[in-house]
Chains A and B, each alone.
Chain A
Amino acid sequence: MLLDFLTTLDTTPIVLSLKLAVITTVLLLIIATPLAWWLTGSSRRTKSIATAVATLPLVLPPSVLGFYLLLLLGTDGPLGQLSQFLGFTSLAFTFQGLVIASIIYSFPFALQPIQNAFESMGRKPIEAAATLGASPWDRFFTVALPIARPGILTAAVLSFAHTIGEFGVILMIGGNIPGETKVLSIAIYDHVESIEYDQAHALSLLMIVFSFVVLFLLYFLNSKSPLATAKTPAHHD
């Protein structure tokens, strides 16, 4: 009976949410990692300004964010105009619009763990790599990134989770278009509004289980990193 129920359940919102979260997370890591690296080496003033801007989405109500994003992405907004100029539709009420909104909305969750990882690593491993003949790019990829791996993983998990849980901003700029912008959180909200508690339950439980599995896997894999064992007592002989 449960199986019957599950097969009749509309899973499009789940797929859409996952797609959105994966794309957002990947893009966020690609943007936030070099930015964090640059900020680590820059002056205190630059760092303060950039961090303050990047942290804004954390303190603003989603409605404020959603409102400005709507203006930015809409038919008359600069990004919407650009998109139309390039031959697409405006970005509001589209999946692409959701991706842009999610990146901005989850930005602090990606930037801060990576930046913390780089800061706590300090300059020393990089200097060691330089004296061993590694060029700046070489040092970044072979020393900075691997040492910051736990921070990058945390950033990925937080960005992913935060994007999955996004609701207010999406409602403001995406609306409720099935298969395009009707993500999981919106679908659950709809079901609850229509007093379809069975469906709401099913989607919510599936989401809980899935989120747990993803988090567990990430933390489990991370605990196998040599850096995670760095806290075990030193071995003498």
Chain B
Amino acid sequence: MTEITVHYQVNRPEFHLNVKFTANGTGVTALFGQSGSGKTTLLRCIAGLEQADEGIFIFNGEPWQNTDINLPAHKRPIGYVFQEANLFPHLSVEKNLQYGFKRRKASEKSIGYDDAIHLVGINSLLKRLPSQLSGGQRQRVAIARALLTNPQLLLMDEPLASLDIQSKAEILPYLEQLNQQLDIPVFYVSHSPDEVLRIADDIVLLKDGHVEATGHLNDVLTRTDLPLAKLEEASAAVTGVVSKHNEEFHLTYVKIQGGTVAVSKLNLPIGHKARIRISAKDVSLALTPAQNTSITNAFPVKIASITPTVDPAKVLIKLDMGGDYFLSQITKLSAHQLELTVGKIVYAQIKSVALMR
């Protein structure tokens, strides 16, 4: 039974939080929302750092909090990564790592000390003080420190938000690796669609202190009634398997449900899971298979829905490619000229596809 039941209610003069959802006890669940949506408060309630007026938290059948039980923060088997690393300034990197490691029972330890250090690549930093590290290094130490408490659940509060673009790029691969190598469920708070697209498996959309939607990442990304699809940079994240490499033209082929997509070559073994990103802006539609075009990726798809966008000149078309969904943003004029209707089979031409992992 891998299931996490979450129900919190916080009533403050300026702020109300009332959320209730069930999350998968595996993979990465993004708690996504704008600032003020309550996502950080929710995470702090889950960690026991903040007291809710009403709280129920059941982790794979084990209650951490309900009407009778309320474990204090230090008794909850969590790892917490704060937005700004929050390392102990008076302790070296090594002592910071050992702080949590020493305080867990030896029998519970499943992640080795050296493994955690290797995982985030901080071997050379152990003797330093936090003040002698860059922002990205500090955050990597914080991630290792959280892992070393041997958490059953990892809580991450916008771990990349306070970093510059370069440091973000430095950490993202580590985060992805971590999620693939360790079998720890993660709640990942973020307001960045980019991060969520790369890291999350599931998503909980929060708005003004309540849950707007929950579900698998791509299901929520392509729901045209939700804010993510309405973004200028609306994208789909489709999961597939690496099927073939083409050395001559430097391409990697990823097999998804309705076809095979070519992307710039990436060093992944055949059979490896891969996630591709398809931006709505990069998808154009045609009634016949295009001839003499520079576009490599073109597939027959079925129109699942047609929705107006904020821009009155454009429409958002949801496309069904053998069970995988993605979006296309085209002009209303084109939609009219092509006589697009729900259920019609058209050819989607995807100008660019990014392989994310």
- Chain A residues with CB under 8 Å of chain B are 124-125, 127-136, 138-139, 142-143, 146-147, 149, 225-227, 229-232, 234-237
Contact = CB atoms under 8 A, between A and B. Distances in A.
Nearest to A135: B74
A128 B86 contact: yes
Contacts of A139: 74
A133 B88 contact: no
Interface stretch (B126-134, B185-193, B233-241): B126-134
A127 B131 CA distance: 19
Contacts of B133: 234-235
A236 B86 CA distance: 18
Contact of A226 (B49, B89, B146): B89
B251 interface: no
Contact of A132 (B49, B128, B149, B155): B149
Interface stretch (B77-85, B173-181, B297-305): B77-85
A131 B90 contact: no
A147 B155 CA distance: 25
A168 to B, nearest CB: 39
Contacts of A231: 131
A129 B73 CA distance: 9
B128 A235 contact: yes
B49 A130 contact: yes
A129 B75 CA distance: 12
Interface in B150-184: 155
Given A130-B49, A131-B47, A133-B74, A125 B129 contact: no
Contacts of B88: 125, 128-129, 143, 147
B99 interface: yes
A125 B90 CA distance: 10
Contact of A131 (B73, B87, B89, B129): B73
B104 interface: yes
13 contacts: A128-B82, A128-B87, A130-B49, A130-B74, A131-B74, A131-B76, A131-B78, A133-B100, A134-B103, A138-B103, A146-B90, A226-B89, A235-B128
Nearest to A143: B88
B145 interface: yes
Given A147-B90, A234-B131, A131 B104 contact: no
A143 B73 CA distance: 16
Contacts of A136: 74
A14 B75 CA distance: 52
Contacts of A149: 90
B81 to A, nearest CB: 9
Contacts of B104: 133
A131 B156 CA distance: 12
Nearest to A130: B73
A40 B30 CA distance: 34
User: Which 9 pairs from chain A and chain B are nearest by CB?
Assistant: A132-B100, A131-B80, A133-B103, A130-B73, A235-B132, A230-B131, A128-B86, A146-B90, A236-B134
Contacts of B103: 132-134, 138
Nearest to B145: A132
A228 to B, nearest CB: 10
A131 B134 contact: no
A227 B78 CA distance: 28
A236 B75 CA distance: 36
A132 B89 contact: no
A69 to B, nearest CB: 39
Interface centre among A136, A142, A225 (most CB of B within 10 A): A142
Nearest to B103: A133
Given A130-B73, A230-B89, A237-B134, 4 more contacts: A131-B100, A133-B74, A134-B99, A236-B134
B76 to A, nearest CB: 8
Contacts of A227: 89-90
